[in-house]
A and B are shown apart, each in its own frame.
Chain A
């Protein structure tokens, strides 16, 4: 006997695609094929976006779909309102204006550094409903589970008449956002700087894209990863020397990610000088997941670097990258291909080490970069700054962190936090209690915005020394290790000189002298380049820094 499903005849399984067709039909008279006329964008958005939609708007910490965000804010809130915005970075005034004007109601995001006061105020005033704060990859993941977008608004460099897109060096998160919408009958709208007959290469095929619109001006791009070596201090150089000897050399760190601090910029600039003199070339720092940092140029030119995979591009580095194809991931056209999602995955699972700076750390090693009264979110650090439980492959550095001989013992990702014991204005970095806790209460967050949890941190580096936290599971002992390198901060004042001696003998902490480093040797003269101009020289003139970094 054949069972008949009575509902089969009446239930439609194609409601989503039909709804999409209807939306596209509604703008037929306004668009020219896949092209939306620039001056009709607001009108078209008012038809393509419906009240209550989940809208993913491209705005990460580098590339911004600025024309589309400026157009979105002009929508009539009587026609479209209560949008649920999903954005990896809230960077521009209009990203929050859409909430002020009643066009959007709810937000899920990763990073809000440039709008951190306003968003904190709006959460407090009930003008914005906060979904949650995420790391980048977490947010991207949710785009395919419970934050599936109805509409994706993204930015590309160029399109052809069919809607194929070239996103070039700044491909970043565009393919991920487009994928989440395009393959679930969402609508994909890309702003482009220009339409051309032939694209240098296709980064996103036209069948994933519904509409393109030529922006009134090129999308905004921030040179976020350019660090001028002029601002590197002797203390940062001392830290860099300790990192190279006491961590990279000790564990044989070959693959890694660096944060954007000046202390890690100093490491990059010490590779061809200090690290070279230690005979470490080829033994450390060969494979990177990193944006094209200008401060990596001297190491690349000196033959230190085998490969660099990038989250995004960096303004001014385009020609240099093209001319160093052996090092970077590039397309057939020669230009860089970046991908934030895959780079975050690589940074999570495939590298030996993540290292970043912190502004505040408690006695257990929990660290945070939040400031009271501000909601800044995370970005990518928490993702790369933890030990992924799903890792199964072994590398020398990872295996070196194994602390037991148990049959099931395994290694660990190296997660390093660097800090000077005092920030500007005499603010101790090591404190009893993190500001993150008061931010949690003020912004009504479910959990305190901790950047890296103490349990994930394997090493802490200050100007005093290195604490090898991975060597102990005891909370009391870890606290003692942190105190002994925390200087004269409240936590540091707890330390007992006898305990410090004992920890040194056991190799749980190391002071510069234990690593064969003389503090007086930590001088700027060790830097392979001391200013932007010298970076340009190293690059043979291929690096063209943005105007604000030019000193000549």
Chain B
């Protein structure tokens, strides 16, 4: 039976999250390795204060997902496909063997730092429910103001879409869509306008960093953030990792492609269950689980019997 492992992005983090990871020597080793690589005690990464920075959030998400993935790997339970949402794509690329964990940790650290540096206060993201991407794009384009730019960003579900840009511009769109068909629209607790052209420079710097590495060909096909195609070559993975920050994440299509390719089991890596919930909503015939909510044991059991 075909399976896909999903690696979550920002929004799934919570205080103390690394304490909730599976009790397994593989996890313990990876946590230790992380502390050494970052020259920081692990406890300081997932404190409330630390998680107010993009950098720590991205580090924690990578550590949580990859360490759990390693337990599956140790048991010989490899998925047919992997996919990661936004920063989750670095975890997916690690699982697929394109980059090493140490490389991934360095890249997400840099990514987080660059994102924090790029925009001043006054930028962020919002989510709109109840409008499809075409209608929402029409509205956003018609209200566009170069002084207060807003872009349609992540397509998480057909009618769950994020916007990225200036807070004032976002508020203007929220006010408009609330009375024009959206069932809900609100600002997200995110201080960066991710997945928009405002991050073009971050993308260029990530490219330069990725160019220094020797990327391996993925041993597991990766569903792409930007194009929602299966990535089978190192070069296309590199492009996806570097560019994703300034392009919308086409998550719904990326997951849908895996479903149409025959995936019957979706398992989300810790720390959350956002992606497995989206999958459950979109593909009722597939089995969806999250290591965080269902527990690792159940996920291992399902994988070993698939």
> A-side interface residues toward B, CB under 8 Å?
92-94, 96, 114-118, 121, 125, 372-373, 424-427
Contacts and interface: CB of A to CB of B under 8 A. Distances in A.
A471 B227 CA distance: 48
Contact of A426 (B130, B158, B228): B130
B281 to A, nearest CB: 12
B116 interface: no
A115 B134 CA distance: 21
Given A117-B256, A425-B159, A427-B135, 5 more contacts: A93-B261, A118-B260, A121-B228, A125-B229, A424-B159
Closest 10 CB pairs of A and B: A93-B262, A425-B159, A426-B181, A118-B260, A117-B256, A93-B261, A425-B130, A115-B260, A426-B130, A117-B260
Contact of B229 (A94, A121, A372, A425): A121
A426 B134 CA distance: 13
B132 A425 contact: yes
Contacts of B210: none
B253 A117 contact: yes
B141 interface: no
Contacts of B92: none
Nearest to B230: A100
Interface residues of B, number: 19
A114 B263 CA distance: 13
Interface in B227-271: 228-229, 253, 256-257, 260-262
Contact of B260 (A114, A373, A424): A114
Contacts of B261: 93, 118
18 contacts: A93-B2, A93-B261, A94-B262, A114-B260, A116-B260, A117-B256, A118-B257, A121-B228, A125-B229, A372-B134, A424-B159, A425-B130, A425-B131, A425-B132, A425-B159, A426-B130, A426-B131, A427-B135
Interface string B114-135: 0000000000000000111011
A373 B253 contact: yes
A115 B257 CA distance: 9
Contacts of A114: 260
A316 B219 CA distance: 42
Contacts of B183: 425-426
Contacts of B131: 425-426
A424 B260 CA distance: 23
Contact of A427 (B2, B132, B229, B262): B132
Interface in B161-204: 181-183
A125 B229 CA distance: 10
Contacts of A125: 229
B279 to A, nearest CB: 15
Main secondary structure of the interface of A (DSSP, over half): helix
Contacts of B257: 117-118, 121
Contacts of B253: 117, 373
A551 B54 CA distance: 46
Which of A92, A93, A425 lies at the interface centre, i.e. has the most chain B CB atoms within 10 A of its CB?
A425
Contacts of A372: 134
A114 B286 CA distance: 13
B134 A425 contact: no
Contact of A93 (B135, B159, B182, B260): B260
A118 B260 CA distance: 7
Contacts of A118: 257, 260-261
Nearest to A435: B134
Which of A114, A125, A427 lies at the interface centre, i.e. has the most chain B CB atoms within 10 A of its CB?
A427
Contacts of B229: 121, 125
B288 to A, nearest CB: 16
Interface string B51-67: 00000000000000000
A485 B261 CA distance: 41
A115 B260 CA distance: 6
A240 B181 CA distance: 27
A118 B159 CA distance: 20
A425 B158 contact: yes
Contacts of A115: 260
B292 to A, nearest CB: 27
Which of A96, A114, A117 lies at the interface centre, i.e. has the most chain B CB atoms within 10 A of its CB?
A117
B127 to A, nearest CB: 14
A114 B259 CA distance: 9
A121 B260 CA distance: 12
A291 B257 CA distance: 30
Contacts of B228: 117, 121
Which of B131, B228, B253, B260 lies at the interface centre, i.e. has the most chain A CB atoms within 10 A of its CB?
B260
Contacts of B256: 117
Interface in B91-122: none
Contacts of A116: 260
A125 B182 CA distance: 33
Contacts of A94: 262
B15 to A, nearest CB: 34
Contacts of A93: 2, 260-262
Contacts of A426: 130-131, 181-183
A118 B158 CA distance: 16
B285 to A, nearest CB: 8
A425 B181 CA distance: 8
Contacts of A427: 132, 135
A116 B181 CA distance: 27
A121 B229 CA distance: 8
A485 B181 CA distance: 20
A96 B262 CA distance: 11
B132 to A, nearest CB: 6
A115 B159 CA distance: 20
A118 B253 CA distance: 9
Nearest to B262: A93
Interface in B66-104: none
A95 to B, nearest CB: 10
Contacts of B182: 426
Contacts of A96: 260
A92 B2 CA distance: 13
A107 to B, nearest CB: 15
Interface string B125-152: 0000011101100000000000000000
Nearest to B252: A117
A3 to B, nearest CB: 62
A425 to B, nearest CB: 4
A115 B256 CA distance: 9
A220 to B, nearest CB: 12
Nearest to B160: A425
A125 B224 CA distance: 15
Contacts of B130: 425-426
Which of B228, B229, B253, B261 lies at the interface centre, i.e. has the most chain A CB atoms within 10 A of its CB?
B261
A425 B130 CA distance: 5
Nearest to A125: B229
A94 B261 CA distance: 8
A122 to B, nearest CB: 10
A93 B132 CA distance: 27
A125 B2 CA distance: 24
A425 B257 CA distance: 22
A338 to B, nearest CB: 25
Nearest to B229: A121
Contacts of A424: 159
Nearest to A372: B134
